[in-house]
Chains A and B, each alone.
Chain A
């Protein structure tokens, strides 16, 4: 097997990898906040969370 072969396809630059990682972390944090928010409001409003005034 040839270990020295060049990688195929698109290879990301360091800047692209870094910015993608940053964006991924931001999306993960935003989703985490959303989950915590829904959980906290469910605790506050109780089981009848979907029974709400118009």
Chain B
């Protein structure tokens, strides 16, 4: 009689066939591209001159830190990703990468991105990047996401921090401008994600994620989208009269804000059928354009100011 049920040699260990592309998918490239863009804005609107190598290092570290957060988020959410059509094609639900491998990948990238930013750029930026990763992975992914309908409201702080980290990397300090950028992204997050959640609510309900449309219903979500959009538009315009950003930004913000308001009202008005679905999809798509165009205006102004003296 044997104390083991089977010969362990008969059980082959799992050998990975994951390719580089699978690991790149763990970094959430689309989210990362928005993080890189907002971080670049935070970096380049900061006062003073920074050497291009330091600028490149800062943006690279922030991008890798964001990717690491994405990998750890996917590692923790492998079970619910498999249940949602939007995420079922990710590397973990497809069986390309295990949750343990993804977590190890994310932890290693987090360690190196924070360490590199702290050593090569400055400690404040490194500490803020570490806090951002911690907030996204532990506070949002592990704690809030499956617990409260306010998950993306509070968790939105993690997505709003990259321009703050970038400003800290450029200046070694913090001031009002990066906090305004933080507030814009923070209040942009709820209308953006709740618009998505409205037309993906079946997915979230199946996975047991308490998104607002699942918990409070679509009508309450439409009202919350409208209220948050009002606050967002006001906060996005505020830096102009307060004197932090100039008139070009202010007018752009007003025009784009009018678009956001119009679409949020449309979402609030149309509650049934194809018109409701079309309204939420339009708001979701426009919200991405809104944030991109708002930040692009700030970046463009920096470029114009830098190039203008060359042309007299």
Query: Interface of A with B (CB < 8 Å)?
Result: 10, 12, 15-16, 19-20, 22-23, 25-26, 34, 37-38, 40-41, 44-45, 49-50, 52-54
Contact = CB atoms under 8 A, between A and B. Distances in A.
Interface in B9-54: 12-13, 15-20, 23, 51, 53-54
A37 B120 contact: yes
Contacts of A34: 112, 116
Contacts of A25: 20
Top-8 shortest CB links A-B: A53-B172, A41-B120, A26-B20, A44-B53, A19-B17, A19-B19, A40-B53, A44-B51
Given A10-B12, A26-B23, A54-B123, A44 B54 contact: yes
Contacts of A52: 121-123, 172
Interface string B121-163: 1111000000000000000000000000000000000000000
Nearest to B22: A19
Given A19-B16, A23-B20, A53 B122 contact: yes
B119 interface: yes
Contact of B122 (A10, A15, A20, A54): A54
B17 A50 contact: no
Nearest to A29: B20
A41 B20 contact: no
A15 B15 CA distance: 10
B224 interface: no
A37 B57 contact: yes
Contacts of A45: 54, 120
Nearest to A25: B20
Q: Which of B13, B19, B124 has the most chain A CB atoms inside 10 A of its CB?
A: B19
Interface of B: 12-13, 15-20, 23, 51, 53-54, 57, 60, 112, 116, 119-124, 172-173
Nearest to A15: B17
Contact of B15 (A16, A37, A53, A54): A16
18 contacts: A10-B15, A12-B15, A19-B18, A22-B19, A23-B23, A25-B20, A26-B20, A37-B57, A37-B116, A41-B53, A44-B54, A45-B54, A45-B120, A52-B123, A52-B172, A54-B122, A54-B124, A54-B172
A22 B121 CA distance: 31
B164 to A, nearest CB: 16
A15 B281 CA distance: 40
Contacts of B53: 40-41, 44
A10 B8 CA distance: 13
A12 B12 CA distance: 11
Nearest to B60: A37
A16 to B, nearest CB: 5
Given A38-B120, A53-B122, 11 more contacts: A10-B13, A20-B16, A23-B16, A23-B18, A23-B23, A25-B20, A26-B20, A37-B57, A45-B120, A50-B119, A52-B123
